Amino acid sequence: MFENMDDAVVILDNGGKILDFNEPGRKFLSPKKIGDSIGGILPPEVFAGNPVEIRRRRRYYDARASVLHDHRKRRLGQAVILRDVTERKKAEERINQLNDTLRLINKIMRHDILNDLQIANSSLEIYSEGKDEKFMEKAVERINKSIALISMMREFEAMVSSGEELKEYSVRSVVDEIIGNYDVKFNVEGDCTVRADEAFHSVIDNIVRNAIVHGGTDKIDITIDGKDNACRIRIADYGKGIPDEIKERIFDERFMYGETGGTGLGLYIVKKTIERYGGSIRVEDNKPQGAVFVIELGK
């Protein structure tokens, strides 16, 4: 009967030797076979009758053992049922990561907006006393910055909280859609598919926008190279570049650089999103000048 079960089932004798198993059980046990001891695979807690979460070959299982008796109620051994909960476990971990990041974004945004409004309020008080226009300008600048932060929050939330299942995206299609929004020269080569979600658009857009707004570039080269089971995306600009001493810190959640550094949240969220896809991102120098952001993702 257990042959048709989706869960792995392993039958043991009273000494812990394997008597039988179904096909999922065979895959779980491999290379062990009938007659071998179960020792070393299942922790003792499993045989106490309570469900225990175990990990084997990078997969997670809920394991539970039940005692088997014959018609005279004599103990014959135990049946161990193992339910593969890997996808549920990954989903739980992803939700926890998303919630942690959203809490961080909320904390940073509240701090920055409150700080800007306090400065604006102080500047307006000083302006009301002396009518010095520079304090009015400072207040307006801080209020506009707060408005911009609130607008950015929607994009950050979309990037972080996109919990949909990953699917295949053509990198070239995403890039072509984004570059039409900017008035600089683009050179785009290659294509490959990656497993991502809607937040991938914001990842590429954020890097391109940073190169234009913060880097001051008037040209961007995007090279998309798919080989083996990986896809490499190089986004190279010809702007001010990024000094060596800060390259490893630009993805930190509170890092700011330059007059237009903003909150520092953008690249932090980009990195978190890429990591959610199982990929990586780094920054290098471009030649003769500028910066190159290199994204590597699985297909």
Reduced to 3 states (helix: H, G, I; strand: E, B; else coil), residue 5 is coil
Residue 236 near residue 290 (C-beta atoms within 8 A):
yes
Task: Read off the pTM.
Answer: 0.61
Which residues are CB-contacts of 5 (< 8 A; sequence separation ≥ 6)?
22, 24, 81
Name the token pair of 149. 């932060």
Q: In angstroms, rounded to a whole number, what is the distance separating the alpha carbons of residues 139 and 121?
A: 7
CATH node for 2-84: 3.30.450.20
Q: In angstroms, rounded to a whole number, what is the distance separating the alpha carbons of residues 253 and 63?
A: 39
Domain extents in the chain: 2-84, 87-161, 163-299
pLDDT tens for the chain, residues 1 to 299: 677 788 999 999 999 999 999 999 999 998 888 999 888 888 888 888 788 999 998 899 999 999 999 889 999 999 999 999 998 998 888 788 777 777 777 776 777 788 888 888 888 888 888 788 888 888 888 888 788 777 767 666 666 665 567 889 999 999 999 998 899 999 999 999 999 888 888 899 889 988 998 889 999 999 999 887 899 999 999 999 888 888 888 888 766 655 445 445 678 888 888 988 889 999 999 999 999 999 999 87
CATH node for 163-299: 3.30.565.10
